């Protein structure tokens, strides 16, 4: 009888949480699978994300093919029957089984230097209001870089024209599902890779429609840096930036999730004839808001672009109306100029499960090891696929994640209509899952910029 095999899409990362005692029956769900195969895949998916803290921001992962590494699958805790606490934590560890096996070790930092010519990995998310042109912008950039061949692009152009959506051809590079193409909006997080002169970039194209904010959060929280796409057309920038638009919310979300470097692609500048006045008007309005949101002026960069025509994407534009006043970098050069994060690869091993499926994959690149920040797929054997769910965590049994039903959190509030009080019900987005929770106690109110305590024990 053939053993069951399942593929697990995950991202390598580290997470630190303050926890209370875990239920003893959790041992029943713990298994020690064997990693049969690991690959890098460009599969389109809703991905798990890294919840960063001030103390921890990295992970080590040293996997040797055929080495049967020690792993523990710790499922995400079920919705707690008790109320969620904002002020309780303990250090009680979750019990684990000892396997007695020894992992083969590699010099992860040395291997990272060798991989892909020593280029660092950069996780980039593209955000912005619906119809700002995010997918078209990045799809055209990928085509210009050679990631999409002419034959495939011609196919997209013919199919888009036949569907009466000729201008959507480049967007279809990333919007792959029939529903996304029919509706003309990105619904899930599309993921692919490309290279700049000095970096390997994992691109995540996030949905802009407000109905898909949970998917946007899932992708954005994995990002090291972001590209915010805004529509320069008259009335369109204002619609996305004012109340009800997603430009503000997306910028606030990525900043609250740890992104500090931001490139603003002022898109569709050809629709306003590359007017410097319009570009400066957008910079003025957006710059003031981004500073209030917590971005430093020195970490925000503005690039005029046209996703449809391809101007100023991979090479500097030669359009006279633009070069008359703009001499800065093109979008690709700005992405290449981002500073990669320092990843603490010696930290405890963590893998977050973002998708589980049975099937056959094609054109995946086989790997012997992975490190912090990588998006990889694992084929594991010797276990029941039913025991692996989206949100589960693979971890080192010697330093396991401790399960919890209560934790203390620092919450950033946006525009709210109902005051946050004790007993307030919320929807908690955590890694790749969403669970209902309850705020049990309010500890203090902090200044959003300085962190200074403004009020203790608010009601």
Pick from 4, 75, 68: nearest CA to 35: 68
* Rounded Cα–Cα distance for residues 56 and 431 (Å): 16
Q: Which residues contact 452 (CB under 8 A, 6 or more apart)?
A: 446
pLDDT at 370: 77
| Residue entry with tokens 């103390």 | 55
How does residue 226 score in pLDDT terms, banded at 50, 70 and 90?
Answer: very high
pLDDT at 204: 85
| Residue bearing the bigger pLDDT, 81 or 185 | 185
* Rounded Cα–Cα distance for residues 67 and 174 (Å): 36
| Residue bearing the bigger pLDDT, 102 or 205 | 205
| Range scoring the smallest mean pLDDT among 36-50, 321-335, 336-350, 443-457 | 36-50
How does residue 374 score in pLDDT terms, banded at 50, 70 and 90?
Answer: confident
How does residue 4 score in pLDDT terms, banded at 50, 70 and 90?
Answer: very low
Is the CB of residue 267 less than 8 Å from the CB of residue 306? Answer: yes
Q: Is the pLDDT of residue 299 over 90?
A: yes
pLDDT at 394: 82
pLDDT at 284: 94
| Residue bearing the bigger pLDDT, 426 or 381 | 426
Mean model confidence pLDDT for the chain: 74
| Residue entry with tokens 């010099």 | 107
pLDDT at 386: 79
Q: Is the pLDDT of residue 294 over 50?
A: yes
| Residue entry with tokens 């290449």 | 336
| Range scoring the smallest mean pLDDT among 30-34, 129-133, 183-187 | 30-34
Q: Tell me the pLDDT tens digit for each residue of 60-93.
A: 333 333 333 333 333 344 433 333 334 444 444 4
Pick from 144, 188, 192, 195: nearest CA to 170: 144
Q: Is the pLDDT of residue 20 over 50?
A: no
Which range of 17-31, 230-244, 323-337, 412-426 scores highest in mean pLDDT? It is 323-337
CATH architecture of 110-337: 3-Layer(aba) Sandwich (3.40)
How does residue 358 score in pLDDT terms, banded at 50, 70 and 90?
Answer: low
The first and second tokens of residue 308, run together, are: 């449809």
Question: Domain locations in the chain?
Answer: 110-337, 404-456
* Rounded Cα–Cα distance for residues 166 and 178 (Å): 16
Which range of 75-79, 109-113, 175-179 scores highest in mean pLDDT? It is 109-113
- pTM of the predicted model, to two decimals? 0.66
């Amino acid at each position: 009888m053939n053993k069951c095999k399942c593929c697990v899409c995950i991202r390598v990362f580290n997470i630190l949480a303050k926890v209370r005692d875990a239920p003893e029956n959790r041992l029943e769900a713990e298994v020690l699978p064997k990693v049969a195969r690991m690959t890098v895949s460009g599969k389109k998916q809703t991905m798990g994300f890294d919840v960063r803290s001030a103390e921890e921001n990295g992970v080590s992962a040293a996997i040797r093919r055929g080495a049967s590494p020690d792993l523990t699958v710790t499922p995400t805790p079920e919705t707690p029957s008790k109320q969620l606490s904002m002020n309780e934590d303990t250090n009680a560890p979750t019990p684990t089984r000892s396997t007695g096996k020894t992992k083969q070790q590699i010099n992860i930092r040395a291997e990272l230097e060798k991989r892909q010519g020593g280029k660092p990995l950069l996780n980039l998310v593209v955000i912005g209001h619906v119809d700002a042109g995010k997918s078209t912008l990045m799809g055209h950039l990928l085509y210009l870089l050679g990631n999409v061949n002419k034959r495939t692009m011609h196919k997209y152009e013919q199919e888009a024209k036949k569907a009466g959506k000729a201008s959507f051809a480049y967007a279809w590079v990333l919007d792959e599902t029939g529903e996304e193409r029919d509706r003309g909006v990105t619904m899930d997080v599309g993921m692919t890779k490309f290279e700049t002169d000095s970096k390997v970039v994992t691109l995540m194209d996030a949905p802009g429609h407000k109905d898909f904010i949970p998917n946007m959060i899932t992708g954005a929280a994995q990002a090291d840096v972001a590209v915010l796409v805004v529509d320069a057309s008259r009335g369109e920038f204002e619609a996305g930036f004012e109340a009800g638009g997603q430009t503000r919310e997306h910028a606030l979300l990525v900043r609250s999730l740890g992104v500090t470097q931001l490139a603003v692609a002022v898109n569709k500048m050809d629709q306003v004839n590359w007017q410097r006045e319009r570009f400066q008007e957008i910079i003025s309005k957006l710059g003031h808001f981004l500073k209030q949101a917590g971005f430093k002026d020195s970490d925000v960069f503005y690039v005029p672009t046209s996703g449809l025509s391809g101007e100023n994407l991979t090479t500097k534009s030669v359009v006279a109306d633009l070069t008359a006043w703009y001499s800065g970098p093109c979008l690709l050069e700005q992405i290449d100029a981002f500073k990669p994060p320092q990843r603490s690869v010696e930290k405890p091993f963590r893998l977050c499960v973002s998708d589980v499926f049975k099937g056959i994959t094609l054109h995946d690149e086989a790997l012997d090891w992975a490190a912090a920040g990588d998006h990889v797929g694992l084929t594991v054997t010797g276990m029941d696929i039913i025991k692996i769910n989206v949100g589960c965590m693979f971890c080192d049994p010697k330093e396991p994640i401790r399960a919890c039903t209560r934790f203390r959190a620092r919450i950033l509030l946006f525009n709210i209509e109902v005051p946050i009080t004790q007993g307030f019900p919320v929807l908690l987005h955590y890694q790749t899952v969403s669970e209902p929770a309850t705020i049990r106690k309010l500890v203090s109110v902090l200044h959003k910029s300085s962190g200074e305590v403004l009020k203790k024990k608010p009601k």
